[in-house]
Amino acid sequence: MSSTMPKGRGRARSTQQMEPTPPTLTSSHDVSIIVTTTSNSNENYGTEASSASSKLRPSASGRGRDQLSKQTPAVAEESRWVVSTLTIEDFKSNSRPSKPNDQCTLGEEIRVIVNFFPVVQYPQKGFPSLPVLYMHNKAFVPMEFVDIEPVRIKKITDEERALLCQKSSLKPCERRQAIQDIRHNPKQQCFEEDPFVKAWNLNVDVKMMIIPARILSMPTIVYNNTFRVTAERIQQPGVWVSAKTRFYEPKNFPAGWAMINLSSQLNENMCIDFYEEMNYISNSRGINCPPPEIYEIDIAQQTSDNIISILGQMMTKNRQCQFLLVILPDDKQKRKEIYGDLKKACELEPGFGVPTQMIKPNNAVIGTRRNANIWDHAKVDNILLKINAKLNGTNHKLEVHEVIRRFFSCGHHIMYVGADLSHASPGSGNLRSAVAVVASADDIPNRYFKEVYVQERVRNESVQYIVDMKDIMKSLIRQYDQHRSFPPSAIVIYRDGISVPEFNSVFEKELTDIRTACVELSPAYRPSLTYIVVNKRHKTRFFPEHSTNNVVAGTVVDSPEITSATTYNFYLNSHHSPLVSK
């Protein structure tokens, strides 16, 4: 991670002109048909037969794209389809079977009325056999006449992202060797042969730079008076295992809470078993977990709106319910849809207003990777970590140095702010951007205030700066003041999601809004401001000189050989990497 501080519009799909030989086509309705055509005219035209989920385009001629050079009126034509399954349905008005589906038999030939459509004349470019593009307005266009807008890449799914990370991950020694192979192989790089490099008498060193680095001391993590995580207790920096001990500030489950089962994988008895295991571990963490009301909802024929309506009725009857634990459906697509809708309803809709914890069904059943008859205590413990924080508890805290304590005791109070602006992925249409800003409520951050906004697009383009930064900061400073009875004397902003070319413009706009927010709260209020941009997508790679593994967590590199000459920046490796060389 690198941190920096100032010092044709034609979306189309391809279809191939059909040859005279009858092709076999299969639609998503499991309609397997053989298409043949007969013509009542001396001219050959393109035809279209369409179902609700597939576009079948039989051609009356084998001359391919030559048909596009003709301009004709629309006429009616008759085709014959051979029935291979009894699922012919959902035909539009421009083409339909002459017999109802229930009157068809396998192997029977039935007539289908197919409409011809006029085509537009294009000049020949010498590619009569290439595919054409089927546009949204039902027009056929040769692909050489269409320009596709650049950088139109749709967002990949979560499963594809996980597979991409799995397949593209390289061990440290493998990545290092791959970089060295490129630099030492003249066929893969030719810097020295570049005429501009020669003209300026430049030379690119093929060896990696050796620069100094330092490792930050690991802070002490306090769970309670009897258990602390120190550098002496761990084997690797950034990794520790918490003992089965009390949280720093445990919060009991509310007297009224509910477990909602949306999974067909679990029955009521399995939900009870999961509660008993969770109750056993929560007691060791100092949390009291009374029995919940268990509700089972069959989602086979239910939409998200129906499920939310059912939960709303449940909340109306059980007004004492202050927390919901939801076991999500088995189907991944249904799970993703319900997750977002339920979170939105429980957080924002009137009649809800309760915190929720949603878990996958596999996390609520007994069994580990090695033994199917025992509970995965670590998995249940991680769920309780999230629940305790959502119930306004504190899992653990950092023990700071005495010098820092004296700094805070002298009236220096810092509010740490994290801000991010997320844009919709390419291909998502005109979806609005999401703004999320959090601010610490204490000198040693454990609790946070939050502000979530949506940001409109301007002239159909995403704005890179946070438009409502002034209102957001005014709200966060007010909440801090109400919580601690005084405003922060200094504000540190960690801003994510800014590319290097946009840094100056976004920094100047947002910093001006933050200063304006402080002045509007009080003309005399002028806190110290520190604006830090966090950039994770840099191309700098670090390797230990005497090890084949990754650099350890807490490594800081601020050597002038690789840092910027105009801004104060440094590189920080915050997390432990599970990838090791063997």
Give Dmax (Cα) for the chain: 97
Q: What pLDDT is attached to residue 80?
A: 44
Mean pLDDT computed over 93-119: 52
Sign of CA dihedral 289, 295, 301, 307: negative
Asked if pLDDT for residue 142 goes beyond 90, the answer is no
pLDDT digits (tens, 9 = 90+) for 308-321: 888 888 888 888 89
558 in Cβ contact with 29 (< 8 Å): no
Asked if pLDDT for residue 57 goes beyond 70, the answer is no
Q: What pLDDT is attached to residue 19?
A: 36
Using pLDDT thresholds of 50, 70 and 90, give the confidence band for residue 108.
Answer: low
Give, as one character, the DSSP assignment of residue 287: -
Higher pLDDT, 185 or 536: 536
Hey, what CATH topology would domain 243-390 get?
Rossmann fold (3.40.50)
Two domains, one topology: 243-390 and 400-537: no
139, containing H or E segment: none
Q: What pLDDT is attached to residue 72?
A: 40
Residue at 35: amino acid letter:
V
Rounded distance, CA 537 to CA 576, Å?
18
Show me where the domains of the chain are located. 13-145, 158-199, 243-390, 400-537
pLDDT digits (tens, 9 = 90+) for 198-212: 888 887 777 888 999
Rounded distance, CA 452 to CA 445, Å?
19
- pTM for the structure as a whole: 0.68
Say whether domain 400-537 belongs to CATH 3.30.420.10.
yes
Of 351, 344, 322, nearest to 251 by C-alpha is 322
Using pLDDT thresholds of 50, 70 and 90, give the confidence band for residue 118.
Answer: very low
Asked if pLDDT for residue 367 goes beyond 70, the answer is yes
Asked if pLDDT for residue 49 goes beyond 50, the answer is no
Asked if pLDDT for residue 353 goes beyond 90, the answer is no
Asked if pLDDT for residue 482 goes beyond 50, the answer is yes
Q: What pLDDT is attached to residue 253?
A: 96
Asked if pLDDT for residue 479 goes beyond 90, the answer is yes
446 in Cβ contact with 483 (< 8 Å): no
Lowest mean pLDDT among 102-106, 196-200, 270-274, 457-461: 102-106
Burial of 451 (0-12, 13-18, 19+ CB in 10 A): buried
